[in-house]
């Protein structure tokens, strides 16, 4: 989609902080994180929202979430994750994406996205 910020990142038109990608999905750091390591799992094909996803793509997204959960546990010492999908009124970018938000036992001060990105790459 022409004006979609996620499509622009996927197509290399604008830079992103890409943690992981394969043929089907891309994982990018959230630019307004609610915790250290907050990332977005985005299908490379444009789907407006989760109602448009086919089951194969949903499985790929969930498999990627498992990989990223392992990564934040190992590299950021997270003790949990929250997976969040916003739909309709709550969905700011109209390209399906799954938020993976790490949780920590002790309250964490947010540090720079670049610092976290360096730990995850």
The set of catalytic residues is 97
Measured distance CA(40)–CA(114) in Å, rounded = 15
Tokens of 49: 């929202």
Name the pairing type of β-strands 39-43 and 80-84. unpaired
Cβ neighbours, 10 Å, residue 101: 20
């Amino acid at each position: 989609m022409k004006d979609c910020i996620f499509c622009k990142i996927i197509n290399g038109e604008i830079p992103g902080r890409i943690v992981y990608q394969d043929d089907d999905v891309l994982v990018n750091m959230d630019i307004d994180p609610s915790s250290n390591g907050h990332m977005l799992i985005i299908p490379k094909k444009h789907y407006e929202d989760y109602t448009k996803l086919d089951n194969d793509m949903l499985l790929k997204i969930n498999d990627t979430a498992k990989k990223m959960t392992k990564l934040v546990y190992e590299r950021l010492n997270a003790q949990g994750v929250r997976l969040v999908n916003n739909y309709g009124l709550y969905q700011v970018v109209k390209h399906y994406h799954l938020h993976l938000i790490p949780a920590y036992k002790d309250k964490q001060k947010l540090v720079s996205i670049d610092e976290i990105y360096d730990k995850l790459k």
